[in-house]
Amino acid sequence: MFGRVFCRRQCVHGRISVRCGSRTAGKTRPVSSLGVVEPVIGLEVHAQLLTKTKLFSAAAIDASTACNSSVADFDLGVPGTLPRLNKECVQKSLQAALLLNSQIQPICRFDRKHYFYPDMPMGYQITQQDYPIAKGGWFEYYPVEEDSADADFKKVRLHQVQLEIDSGKTIKMDGNRLFIDLNRAGVGLIEIVTHPDFNSASEAAAFVDQLRLLLIHNHICAGELHKGNMRIDANVSIRVNGQDKPRTEIKNINSIRLLKEAINNEVKRQISILEAGDEITNVTLNADDDGNIVVLREKSDALDYRFTPEPNLPRLKIESEWVAEAKANVRYDVEYRDYIENYGVPPGLALSIVKDDEKSSFVRQTLPYVNAESSEYFNWFKELRVICGGLGIPYPPLNANFVEPFVLIVNAHTNHVITKLVAIDLLKGYLKGDVSGNVDLLIEQSNLIRLHPSDPEFQGFLDAIIAKNEKVVHKIHTATGNATKKAFNKLRNELINTSEKRISVEDAEQAITSRLGN
């Protein structure tokens, strides 16, 4: 919820954390003299609905418009003005509920949450406290970050999905002067409330990141945290030796980086309080741009929201045809999940791909050429980045004619037709324009096919380099430490170079070891 006062929803963030799903990602517990310390984290994600007009007024939603230029009388709280519910907002919230496996309620109700703040001119927020549009649910996500190790998904439980209006925006300028922009006031939001199922800041960040991609994919929210159309409140506590401590709430976090830093800093703050012999108090917090925690108010400062049913809005009956329409418009085929589940891409790599428009476009163009035996081709993107960097060309390459050769070369390597070193040389050749045409024909005509240990030509090369390098062989047998390693590497490299890279590094090492003994 968007109020700037203490959250009273005590029942939502209970003290029991249920871990669901398989988890292979490591969980790091904070080190403390207190004993076993485990963070317990729940989130409230506020996502602006991607609609043309606001939730209860006809004012247009346009981020590019001048300050305070898209505000209806109702958004200003002008006496006598009445709310008119935007059906598109209802449909978007129903889509979100379906995507999150949440139970859509046949009847929901809007409430007034009373508090005063300059960017909430009505003196209350219209929200859904006890009768939300959907209850329960879960979301499966991969608890990993970009370029991290592989991990199975985790399931986080959801408490509810509720529909409400956003507040305006407070802007600090000219020193300590505050300015109010009400263009955002009245914009429709969904608030997605989780159970405290996260045990690290990284898990919480991965959840928000992948939830954001799902909402963007379904055109429910723009998902631009830096623009404020998606914001997070984090409820943080620690469990010490199995005993739960009071929780605190960090308000209005507007980036994935800041979410991680703020949670980590708050966990450290709570541990330091207990280590100093003091007690943690239930406070509301804010985080600056560096993730440093600032206490806004203590529990004793909390105001009574005085939740009351919105008198100008009847209870909302969710019609079955609305739900059917929402079901027809939801899409579960998020791009990163497709890469993970259908192509075997590690989750961290898949997430890094979809967040880069150029890389994602390049990958999509390659998919028609990928075969079942070469699904590991995604691992070549790091190698391709190194090659492009060495050649001084953009990564990924902008040349559309490179797409097919790239995949076919990688296919040839993963099918053991060519070695990795030959594949790298071919990629460089196609990128520089030194070679062109059919990849398979080029490999055959240029005699680039990989040699295997059982091939007579392989054994001929091995016999020749051993006979030629008697001193190196002797050193391998008699020297110790780095001297032995250098001698072995020299023999291996000569075998590879003699074969014009048609012998792989692995085969060369194994053949020399087998021939010379351990």
- Judged against a pLDDT cut of 50, whether residue 8 lies above it is answered with no
List the one residue out of 228, 230, 190, 186 whose CA is nearest residue 71.
186
- Beta strand 177-181 with 169-173 is antiparallel
Task: Compare 358 and 329 and report the one with higher pLDDT.
Answer: 329
The number of angstroms, rounded, from the C-alpha of 479 to the middle of its chain's C-alpha atoms is 51
pTM, entire model:
0.81
pLDDT average, residue stretch 220-224: 95
What distance in Å separates the CA atoms of residue 401 and residue 393, rounded to the nearest whole number? 15
Assign 4 a pLDDT band (cuts: 50, 70, 90). Answer: very low
Q: Return the amino acid letter for 368.
A: P
Assign 518 a pLDDT band (cuts: 50, 70, 90). Answer: low
**What DSSP character marks residue 478?**
H
pLDDT computed for residue 175 by the predictor? 77
Contacts of 432 (CB under 8 A, 6+ apart): 391
Assign 13 a pLDDT band (cuts: 50, 70, 90). Answer: very low
List the one residue out of 194, 294, 236, 234 whose CA is nearest residue 37.
236
Contacts of 445 (CB under 8 A, 6+ apart): none
Assign 9 a pLDDT band (cuts: 50, 70, 90). Answer: very low
Residue 271: CB atoms within 10 A of its CB come to: 21
pLDDT computed for residue 308 by the predictor? 94
- Judged against a pLDDT cut of 70, whether residue 27 lies above it is answered with no
Assign 18 a pLDDT band (cuts: 50, 70, 90). Answer: very low
User: Please, where are the H alpha helices in 12-124?
Assistant: 87-99
Highest mean pLDDT among 90-99, 305-314, 387-396: 90-99
What distance in Å separates the CA atoms of residue 1 and residue 358, rounded to the nearest whole number? 36
Token pair in block for residue 382 = 């790091």
pLDDT more than 90, % of the chain? 69
- Judged against a pLDDT cut of 60, whether residue 5 lies above it is answered with no
pLDDT computed for residue 1 by the predictor? 29
Cα separations in angstroms, 320 against 85, 219, 473: 18, 22, 80
Under 8 Å between Cβ of 299 and 283: yes
Assign 299 a pLDDT band (cuts: 50, 70, 90). Answer: low
Task: Compare 355 and 427 and report the one with higher pLDDT.
Answer: 427
The number of angstroms, rounded, from the C-alpha of 442 to the middle of its chain's C-alpha atoms is 41
Question: Over the stretch 128-157, which tens digit does the pLDDT of each residue have?
Answer: 999 999 999 999 999 986 555 556 789 999
pLDDT average, residue stretch 73-90: 96
Assign 305 a pLDDT band (cuts: 50, 70, 90). Answer: confident
pLDDT average, residue stretch 215-236: 95
What distance in Å separates the CA atoms of residue 394 and residue 388, rounded to the nearest whole number? 6
Instruction: Tell the burial category of 293 from Cβ atoms under 10 Å away from its Cβ (0-12, 13-18, 19+).
Output: buried
List the one residue out of 215, 225, 206, 229 whose CA is nearest residue 350.
206
- Judged against a pLDDT cut of 90, whether residue 300 lies above it is answered with no
What distance in Å separates the CA atoms of residue 15 and residue 29, rounded to the nearest whole number? 18
Task: Compare 338 and 497 and report the one with higher pLDDT.
Answer: 497
Under 8 Å between Cβ of 161 and 128: no
What distance in Å separates the CA atoms of residue 14 and residue 9, rounded to the nearest whole number? 10
- Judged against a pLDDT cut of 80, whether residue 195 lies above it is answered with yes
Supply the mean pLDDT for the chain.
Answer: 88
Task: Compare 268 and 22 and report the one with higher pLDDT.
Answer: 268
What distance in Å separates the CA atoms of residue 11 and residue 176, rounded to the nearest whole number? 37
What distance in Å separates the CA atoms of residue 240 and residue 37, rounded to the nearest whole number? 5
pLDDT average, residue stretch 451-463: 94
List the one residue out of 96, 284, 103 whose CA is nearest residue 191.
96
Assign 444 a pLDDT band (cuts: 50, 70, 90). Answer: very high
pLDDT average, residue stretch 179-194: 96
pLDDT average, residue stretch 490-505: 96
pLDDT average, residue stretch 340-350: 83
Give the lowest-confidence range in 71-85, 112-126, 343-357, 466-480.
343-357
Q: Where are the beta strands (DSSP E) in 206-335?
A: 230-240, 243-244, 248-253, 283-287, 293-298, 308-309, 316-317
- Judged against a pLDDT cut of 90, whether residue 477 lies above it is answered with no
Cα separations in angstroms, 220 against 43, 422, 489: 19, 47, 57
- Judged against a pLDDT cut of 80, whether residue 482 lies above it is answered with yes
Task: Compare 5 and 326 and report the one with higher pLDDT.
Answer: 326
